Amino acid sequence: MGEYTTVRIGVLSFAHQHAASYSENLLRLPGVDFVGIWDGDEETAAYWSQRLAVPSFATATELLDQGLDGVIICSENANHRRLVELAAGRVPAILCEKPIATTIEDGQAIIDCCRAAGTRLQIAFPVRFAPSVRELKRRLDGGELGQIYAVKCTNHGSMPGRWFVDSALAGGGAVIDHTVHVIDLLRWFWGAEVTEVYAEVGDSLLHPGLGIDDAGMLSFALSNGVYGTLDTSWSRPPSYTIWGDVKIEIVAERGAIYCDALHQYVTVAANAAGKTQWAGWSSDIDYGLMQDFVEMIRSGREPSITGEDGLRALEVALAAYEAARTGAVVQL
């Protein structure tokens, strides 16, 4: 077994469900000292401390003062800025859950404070680490398809409830929750920016009385001339076999290519679960994200997914809301 420089990491907040997977993967990674956690809710902190067998700290500052090499922030979206500003300068590296923030102002402030403090900032876009997505990126980079004409995307999921349906904490519903993942992939594929957006957004369309958007359809153009659509929703019921999907279909000069980021699974029928489920057998995308973050810290390189990447993806989601509100195409 190879030798590793020990990397000390903590987790701030378990508000976002990804914190559980990130934490469990930290425990799997060689050379990682999972120092502890903090959550503003004492019951939540106690539960995860016991389940993960790591210390829980009474305050975020107390955890940040443990000589950490990096910290992962999984709070409610609106609280990202406060926790990033608290951590910047105290730790050399921060991984912030997506979306980077709920407003452009807060997203830019997050980037600026990390830059001023000399803290490297990475944004959590784990879909980049799906094997099928990385293969698609390889083929696009190789020019296999020739000129790209259009891209059709989906990101469907289950309705998460809790603070995700509180616009003050989440910044929006399904559109902000799911748009940022797909837009990040498209920007990564082509190094192109979204130049204009039109959207139709449905509030409580699938979940009557929800009080926030649970479905949206975006149409957009990229700076490289590619036209795209994105179907984003919380349309998967609790009985569904998996939480949702990320799918991309590209039409190009030499043909078409289709990518289903989560298609590598086996079907499992279990009485304990009360339903049939799809259990993924491919590489764990959250493990890939954690591995990348730890390797960034260990090697001293720059983040592979930057704060700027997070901000650009957020801009598109917010532009979609503006387009739906005004009924007009929004230029970026």
d(CA 313, CA 302): 19
Three-state secondary-structure class, residue 274:
coil
Three-state secondary-structure class, residue 99:
coil
Domains and CATH numbers, the chain: 7-124 (3.40.50.720), 128-283+314-331 (3.30.360.10)
pLDDT attached to residue 241:
74
| DSSP one-letter string for 289-321 | HHHHHHHHHHHTPPPSSBHHHHHHHHHHHHHHH
d(CA 98, CA 123): 6
Q: What is the pTM of this model?
A: 0.95
pLDDT attached to residue 1:
45
- Residue matched to tokens 């900032």: 121
Q: Burial letters for 38-76: b for 16+ Cβ neighbours within 10 Å, e otherwise?
A: bbbeeebbeebbeebebbbbeebeebbebebbbbbbbbb
Q: Which residues contact 273 (CB under 8 A, 6 or more apart)?
A: none
pLDDT attached to residue 265:
65
Q: Which residues of the chain have pLDDT under 50?
A: 1
Length of the chain, please? 332
pLDDT attached to residue 137:
98
pLDDT attached to residue 88:
98
